[in-house]
Structure 1
Amino acid sequence: MFAKWKSKKEKNPTEVLVLEIYAPVSGQAVPLSGVPDETFAGGHMGKGIAIEPSEGRLMAPFDGKIAHVVKSSHAVIIEHSSGLQLLLHIGMDTVSLKGSGFTSHVTSGDEVKAGQTLIEFDIAFIQAAGYQTITPVIVTSNGETDLEMDYHYGPVVAGKVIILTVASR
């Protein structure tokens, strides 16, 4: 159901590894360029996609290990066994909330399963405090440089809709 590397053969005998990444949060998937923060929109953190969440639950998009949980619990980095890392960042400038409105269910080093709740967050509280909840999903590293990414926009349901397909040669 969630992300798995799958082998595919192209016209040449070179093997291509493909990772399908499912939505970590339900909502509307939009291009990263639509994020109201140049660091994300400009791709300075990496390539990816963003989701305007409709519910306040961030889930693991694949089986992996928690590489880092930001102290204020508004962001987490999860690492796939392939080495690919995703930054899941809830909202813009939400670090200013100093953890208010966020409940982390994981700590750095935890092994997690696809669909496991990582962080719960209060959308109404965050918005009432004047912050946007748009959530970038960024590929930060993978140990390789030759990546192709396909983005899948529109309505998404956490754990049920693929938002990114990452291919590595």
Structure 2
Amino acid sequence: MGWFKKKEKLEVIEVGVPLAGSVVELSEVPDPAFAGGFMGKGIAIKPREGKVYAPFDGTVAHAFGRSNHALLLEHASGIQLLIHVGINTVSLKGRGFTLRVQTGEKIKKGQLLLEFDISEIEQAGFPVITPVLVPDDQEMVKSVETMEGAGVVDGVPLLRVHLK
């Protein structure tokens, strides 16, 4: 008896901080779809540098190839995370953005995924604030908890995704 260990059920996914900057509430994003939580639950970051890193081990579910402004990442649990650099930056058609990964690529926490030119984006008239959220309609998501002090203290996750 006891030869087989019961596989532990993953109950909480910790999402690391994907870019350096000031963490703010989604309500501060100057776009009603993000600010109102219609795209999902999460937080936003006012970036200090133009680099996005993998917040967990997983896969690039979708790299927005023509515009290079956003990434949809998938954790091994199946939970997806959207990182959307700037507001209305899709209209830049990739100018100021350099993707370092492709759709379907495996990623490791801390890996450089995307680089962007903050001043070029701002000079084009777009806010560079970056929503980081768990898109709605993921059946296994029970709740999304935003972490106080994330991005300030090393090792503090940005989000905790509680699973059903």
Render the CA deviation track for 1:53-77: whole Å, top value 9, x for unaligned: 0010001100111011112100010
- Which residue in the other structure is 2:55 paired with? 61
2:163 to 144, 149, 168: 168
Structure 2 counterpart of 1:54, one-letter code: R
State the alpha-carbon separation in 1 of the partners of residues 156 and 13 from structure 2: 13
Larger radius of gyration: 2
Unaligned runs of 5+ in 1: 1-6, 8-14
1:38 to 1, 9, 32: 32
Give, in angstroms, the shift of residue 49 of structure 1.
Answer: 0.6
- Contact map agreement 1:29 1:152 (CA 8 A) in 2: no
Give structure 1 regions of 4+ aligned residues with deviation exceeding 3 angstroms: 157-161
State the alpha-carbon separation in 2 of the partners of residues 126 and 119 from structure 1: 14
State the alpha-carbon separation in 1 of the partners of residues 115 and 152 from structure 2: 16
Aligned identity (percent) is 49
Larger fraction in strand? 1
Q: Does 1:103 align with 2:64?
A: no
- Contact map agreement 1:84 1:142 (CA 8 A) in 2: no
SS of equivalent residue, structure 1 residue 124: helix
SS of equivalent residue, structure 1 residue 156: coil
Q: In terms of mean alpha carbon deviation, does 136-145 or 35-44 score higher? A: 136-145
From the superposition, tell whether residues 20 and 110 of structure 1 become closer, same or farther in structure 2 (CA, over 3 Å): same
Unaligned runs of 5+ in 2: 1-7
- Which residue in the other structure is 1:152 paired with? 147
- Contact map agreement 1:61 1:159 (CA 8 A) in 2: no
Structure 2 counterpart of 1:83, one-letter code: G
Give, in angstroms, the shift of residue 148 of structure 1.
Answer: 2.1
Give, in angstroms, the shift of residue 138 of structure 1.
Answer: 1.2
- Which residue in the other structure is 1:140 paired with? 135
CA RMSD of superposed structures (Å) = 2.1
Q: Does 1:123 align with 2:118?
A: yes
State the alpha-carbon separation in 1 of the partners of residues 152 and 108 from structure 2: 17
- Which residue in the other structure is 2:3 paired with? none
State the alpha-carbon separation in 2 of the partners of residues 113 and 49 from structure 1: 22
**TM-score (normalizing by structure 2):** 0.87
Give, in angstroms, the shift of residue 42 of structure 1.
Answer: 1.0
Q: How many residues align?
A: 156
Give, in angstroms, the shift of residue 145 of structure 1.
Answer: 4.9
State the alpha-carbon separation in 2 of the partners of residues 100 and 146 from structure 1: 35
- Contact map agreement 2:141 2:161 (CA 8 A) in 1: no
- Contact map agreement 1:85 1:141 (CA 8 A) in 2: no
Give, in angstroms, the shift of residue 158 of structure 1.
Answer: 10
